[in-house]
Amino acid sequence: MRNIIRTRNFYLIIAIDICLLVGAYWLSYVIRFEGQIPAHDWNNLVSTLPYIICFKLFTFFMFGLYKGMWRYTSLVDLLNLLKATLTSSFGIMLAILFMFQFQGFARSVFIIDGMLTFIFIGGFRVSIRLLFSETPSGLPSFREVLTRRSEKKPQRPKKRLLIIGAGDAGEKMLREIRDNPRLSYEAVGFLDDDHRKKGMRIHGVPVLGSVPRIHDMAYRDEMD
């Protein structure tokens, strides 16, 4: 954890998360009161905001949301974010119930806030993943486009690649190739001995045939 805290990206992510959490909490009041926040509720918003932000960040730490590499955000990370969001929202509502019995507080604000927190933080994490990854169609990512424009270096032609096995391992290999634009490979097809998979596609890449036909496929690719 100490190594994570020492990185510059860690503080950048924390700063962005704080902005998103503030926006989610404020917007939840705007939605609840249809854009006209009463003075009393506005005071509640301002007075509780620092405690809510600190508690949410603490919960995110507890669920390990800042230990992962955000460029590899996966369904597991989003599931942990959902757990952290539900835990923090429940904890906040429980604290207000014991301290104020919800007198002067709108319960729906905290439900909306939890939903917006998950959408904002999750959307930000997924955006980072998309920023560093190629699109499912094989198109370059936004980051790669910017890099190419800034460097203006001639790009080496990618080597066309056949992946053996149209299962979990093959799918992971395809994602690894697409998630790393620096790899000079382009997956053009899968080979699998299960004839039922022929003609099917994984992330847009077709299953061309069985493994014994690898020489025919390679020869055809050279002719093309």
Tens digits of residue pLDDT in 5-35: 456 677 888 999 999 999 999 999 999 999 8
Residue whose structure tokens are 């990512």: 141
Q: How confident is the model at residue 217 (pLDDT cuts 50, 70, 90)?
A: low
| pLDDT average, residue stretch 117-144 | 71
pLDDT exceeds 90 at position 49: yes
- pLDDT, tens digit (0-9, with 9 covering 90-100), for 151-164: 545 556 778 888 88
What confidence score (pLDDT) does residue 18 get? 96
Q: Which of the pair, 115 or 192, is modelled with greater confidence?
A: 115
Nearest CA to 69 out of 133, 118, 116 is that of 133
What confidence score (pLDDT) does residue 70 get? 62
Burial class (CB in 10 A: 0-12, 13-18, 19+), 92: buried
Q: Which of the pair, 87 or 193, is modelled with greater confidence?
A: 87
**Domain limits, the chain:** 2-132, 155-223
Q: Which of the pair, 221 or 90, is modelled with greater confidence?
A: 90
Percent above pLDDT 90 for the chain: 35
| pLDDT average, residue stretch 131-160 | 55
Percent above pLDDT 70 for the chain: 77
Burial class (CB in 10 A: 0-12, 13-18, 19+), 156: exposed
What confidence score (pLDDT) does residue 138 get? 43
pLDDT exceeds 70 at position 87: yes
CB atoms within 10 A of CB 122: 16
| Mean per-residue pLDDT of the chain | 81
- pLDDT, tens digit (0-9, with 9 covering 90-100), for 95-105: 999 998 888 89
Domain 155-223 maps to which CATH number in 3.30.1130.10, 1.10.4080.10, 3.40.50.720, 3.30.470.30? 3.40.50.720
What confidence score (pLDDT) does residue 213 get? 65
**Sheet of 201-202, strand order:** 159-164, 185-191, 205-209, 201-202
Q: Which of the pair, 152 or 81, is modelled with greater confidence?
A: 81
